[in-house]
Structure 1
Amino acid sequence: MVSELFDLSGRVALVTGSSRGIGNVVATGLAEAGATVLLNGRDRQRVFDARDALRAAVPQATCEGVCFDVTDETAVAESVAEINARHGGIDILVNNAGFQHRESMFDLSVEDWETVLRTDLTSAFIVGRTVARGMVHRGNGKIINVCSVQTELARPSIAPYAAAKGALRNLTRAMTAEWAGHGLQINGIAPGYIATELTSTLVADPDFSDWVTGRTPAGRWGDTGDLVGPAVFLASDASSFVNGQVVFVDGGMTAVV
């Protein structure tokens, strides 16, 4: 049955940066599809509050909180080893952790540049490689890297973010080149302008919001729920021959000039 292709029952999903925003909504969608979900973040209280909220929203879900810094290679290795010991492995990894820093390149410090790249790009390499070792050993696994319209486009004042997200697309391809032959599917989701807690000031800015809706063929901001279907698709057997691709969920923004 077609519905069975999207069923994630019995699978373990780790979603980084999932105590709020896009990561939290995607994690909730995976839980609704049957996956055991591991929420991640650095703020322990926020992670466990998110865990409790997800359990309340999806009573049938199995959900845990795992707190570690995705940019710390030692912490990642220790946490993934603990998860593997407890659950027998991670079947689905969503590399979602990231943040934005807005500043002119003339004013941007090298430290801030490197912080954005380490959080938005290097963390996907660190966590992805660590988790993939177990996936390769078992002969299957799904990795979803959360990219952006800035994977394809750029705007003033967000150079490190655009650089990181552009590189994340090719990291997705590199992972595919090395691991697809071992039964893994590695793909990306590239959200357009999505209304979240972190973008609330932009949504509230009439000029910027008018630019977004005018520039987007769909004529609106995206909603976090718009990302759930693509995420479940890429995490499930429905995408078993999809590899190295980035799915733009942007209302058509990158399709037009």
Structure 2
Amino acid sequence: RIDILVNNAARSFMRSLLELREDGWDKVFDTNVKAVFLLSRAVARRMIEQGGGCIINITTVGAERGGRNIAAYLASKAALKMLTMCMAVEWAQYNINVNAVGPGVTRTHFSQPLWGNPDLAERIVSAIPKGRIAEPEEIVGAVLFLASDASSYITGQTIYVDGGFLAG
């Protein structure tokens, strides 16, 4: 039985658009969008047989804003946000809720190139009303909420856990 799927895998390359090679672009989209589509479709088929379930995709606040040297990642996560909405619309009739969580910059190994650079980290933190980078534990609550019965009437939404970054 599969009740909950969390699609959290991600890939990125820190390259300018002029330097980014096509195979790099494809690798990012294959991991961040295509793999989510294929796995979610397979799991949704099982969930339909079971009478429903919940799929949670991890996107990013960057799906809402442009950025330098990270276009493939941001574009793929924006595509994932739209894929989340399309899945929600198509699969709601089967009692499958599909939502996303969009973290801001979070202190993980994946985002270390951002927060590990003191100058860049200072610029990032200055744009966050909470005045700091998130810790991984702070993202978990939104995922748990979307996986719980408390969110049974929520589908097609993205919850941003960003310390106010998008608001400010």
How would you bin the TM-score normalised by the shorter chain? over 0.9
Partner of 1:224: 136
Which residue number in structure 1 is paired with residue 56 of structure 2?
A: 144
Q: Which residue of 1 aligns with 2:152?
A: 240
Structure 2: runs of 5 or more not aligned: none
Whole-angstrom CA distance in 2 between matches of 1:243 and 1:220: 30
Secondary structure, in 3 states, of the residue corresponding to 1:198?
Answer: coil
Q: 1:202 & 1:169 partners in 2: Cα distance?
A: 22
Decide which moves more: 213-222 or 100-109. 100-109
Residues 1:118 and 2:22 are matched in the alignment: no
Length-normalised TM-score, structure 2: 0.97
TM-score by length of 1: 0.64
Asked if 1:132 is matched to 2:44, the reply is yes
After superposition, the CA RMSD in angstroms is 1.0
Say how many residue pairs are matched: 168
Secondary structure of 2:97's partner?
Answer: strand
The percent identity for this pair of structures is 39
Deviation at 1:253, TM superposition (A): 0.6
Query: How far did residue 104 of structure 1 move?
Result: 1.1
**Which amino acid counterpart does residue 100 of structure 2 have in structure 1?**
G
Q: In the aligned structure 1, how far is the partner of 2:157 from the partner of 2:165?
A: 18
Match of 2:100 among 178, 188, 198: 188
In the alignment, is residue 91 of structure 1 matched against residue 7 of structure 2? no
- Residue 201 of structure 1: how far off its partner (Å): 4.0
Higher relative contact order (CA 8 A, sep 6+): 2
Q: Where does structure 1 lack aligned partners over 5 or more consecutive residues?
A: 1-88
Larger Rg: 1
1:107 aligns with 2:34: no
Structure 1 segments (4+ residues) deviating >6 Å: none
Asked if the contact 2:11–2:27 (Cα under 8 Å) also holds between the matched residues in 1, the reply is no
**Using the alignment, how far apart are the partners of 1:122 and 1:253 within structure 2?**
28
Give the 5 Å matches for 1:38-77: none
Paired with 2:110 and 2:31, the residues of 1 have a C-alpha distance of 16
